[in-house]
A and B are shown apart, each in its own frame.
With several copies, the nearest count.
Chain A
Amino acid sequence: MKKIEAIIKPFKLDELKSALHDIGVTGMTASEVKGFGRQKGHTEVYRGAEYIVDFIPKVKIEIVIDESMVDQVTDAIIGSVKTGKIGDGKIFVLPVESVCRIRTGETGQEAI
């Protein structure tokens, strides 16, 4: 089991969801985050002084899947959210030791 975390541009969420759905991913969890990176935030002015808001709104997607699907999912993510502009985001893959569906107590492959 692996966990894929993708930090993406918020307006790409819908396309990402469809792309993942198409390759058979049936579950995921999303949250609003703020990202700091190469993409520069916007400049705000406040009482005549400029300052940079360098945390930019992003969406974080977490998907736990079987190891065998990692590449497929990664490709689907890249395919659906890539714009080619700075700030497109990152994909991180983390190991997961066990998975459990609370409702049924199922574990492993059946739980996701």
Chain B
Amino acid sequence: MNMDVINISNKELPMKKSIARKAGLPFFTALMAMPGVALAGEGVAEVAGSAAMYVVNNTWMLVATFLVFVMHLGFAALESGMTQAKNTVNILFKNTAIIAIGLLTYALVGFNLMYPGDFSIAGFFGFAGFGIGVDPGSMMITGDDGVGIYTYWTDFIFQAMFAATAATIVSGAVAERIKLHSFLIFSVIYVAFIYPWVGSWKWGGGWLDAKGFYDFAGSTLVHSVGGWAALAGVILLGPRLGKYVNSRIKPIMGHNMPLATIGVFLLWLGWFGFNGGSVLSADPGLVSFVFVTTSLAAAAGIVGAIMLSWILQKKPDLAMALNGALAGLVGITAGADVVTVMSSIVIGFIAGLLVVASVMIIDRIRLDDPVGAISVHLVCGIWGTLAVGIFSADHSFMVQLLGVGAYGVVCFAAAFALFLALKITLGLRVDEEEELKGLDVGEHGMEAYGGFVINKS
């Protein structure tokens, strides 16, 4: 590391002492238990070994970082594929803007809100100051056994990639009718303040962490947090024109299923980093175990969703199969490291059933969620969080329920208030004509598929 660089950086940026995201992480216990291997305590051997261990841990976390980055492309593809062609540019624009907003606001305030180190209001609110930067001497973050697991910068960039996800989840649910600038303002505030603040309760070592609430990689902290805002947005926006006419539910089909499928596969790919990276080290046993539970839950989610939708609809439904994969992934996210393989399959399968039922019910109660974000992220996020209390003997169902409730109340209220304020001031919804013409032309003066020869004149 070039010291000068950091020093310059330090002059303008405050220090931040990061704390491990999960208290009491059983670090490298598997390694310690290697038959015939007794790590030599404080001796020279450990020194060189732990230097290399630090590098590999950090490398894995960086791999996880770019995998989580891929999820943003996954969301962009899924959301635009599942909606109408005339709103595609708008969705792509939102997703491009959100990742920029997410990274920059997280650097400015989010990271220090989420991992405040010391809380100002005990376990409830803390802020370590604006900006990022670190003293090179303390750049290495270590696990419980004193071995380096990653750098300060890795910590930041991995967490920053998570941050924008919550807003992206909302993006899909409010698609095809929300005003662009209102959505962008909402996203900035939600991502910069709400997401990291509530995140601090658990991952920042706050009050829910103290209570023993468990959320491995964010069924609640990321997915439900996004899902609650999606719900608030959908309620305040109302359905798309033509969706519910004279007591009839009219389908508005997605315009590009290959794009949606690419999106889901890329999300799954990203989840290897989302869950695998949440181990916060390259611990072989733990990361590989998380790979197994994550993949099997996704697979079981597909099977569950295909089965139920085939029974209910008499046809095998691709959109439901894709939602099933995501449902399984969201479902296993809270407990990927603490449930058995068999449990991961059961959790994923139930998530697959849940998502199908939920999509249908939400449509029937006239909440118009074009991509099924509420069903996938909120419903399955809750399920996954509670499942930890059911399938892991070490965690309490009641504490999990408390966590779900706490996040639900605060996030829904905050998002609802925010959207309401925007509705009253700037307006939330594009006018009817723009909605009919499509937001691409209305908001961006551009078409997603400009190939029609007659347009070129």
Contacts and interface: CB of A to CB of B under 8 A. Distances in A.
**A touches B (Cβ under 8 A):** yes
Interface of A: 9-11, 13-14, 17, 30-32, 34, 42-51, 53-55, 57, 59
Which A-B residue pairs are the 8 nearest by beta carbons?
Answer: A46-B251, A14-B457, A45-B313, A44-B445, A48-B360, A10-B453, A34-B454, A47-B363
Interface in B401-440: 436-437
Interface residues of B, number: 27
Contact of A34 (B241, B313, B317, B455): B455
B446 interface: yes
Interface of B: 241-242, 249-251, 253, 309, 312-315, 317, 359-360, 363, 436-437, 441-442, 445-446, 452-457
Contacts of B359: 47
A44 B456 CA distance: 12
A51 B317 CA distance: 14
Contact of B446 (A10, A44, A59): A44
B314 A45 contact: yes
Given A53-B455, A55-B454, 18 more contacts: A10-B453, A11-B241, A11-B436, A13-B456, A13-B457, A31-B454, A42-B445, A44-B441, A44-B445, A45-B313, A45-B314, A47-B359, A48-B309, A48-B313, A51-B251, A53-B441, A57-B453, A59-B453
A53 B313 CA distance: 16
Contacts of B313: 45, 48, 50
Given A46-B251, A47-B251, A14 B456 contact: yes
A48 B251 contact: no
Contacts of A10: 453-454
A34 B445 CA distance: 17
Contacts of A59: 453-454
B445 A45 contact: yes
Contacts of B241: 11
B250 A45 contact: no
A10 B313 CA distance: 29
A30 B454 contact: yes
Contacts of B314: 45
Nearest to A43: B445
27 contacts: A10-B454, A11-B242, A11-B453, A13-B456, A31-B454, A32-B452, A32-B453, A34-B452, A34-B454, A42-B445, A43-B445, A44-B251, A44-B446, A46-B253, A47-B249, A47-B251, A47-B359, A47-B360, A48-B309, A48-B312, A49-B249, A50-B313, A51-B251, A54-B457, A55-B455, A55-B457, A59-B454
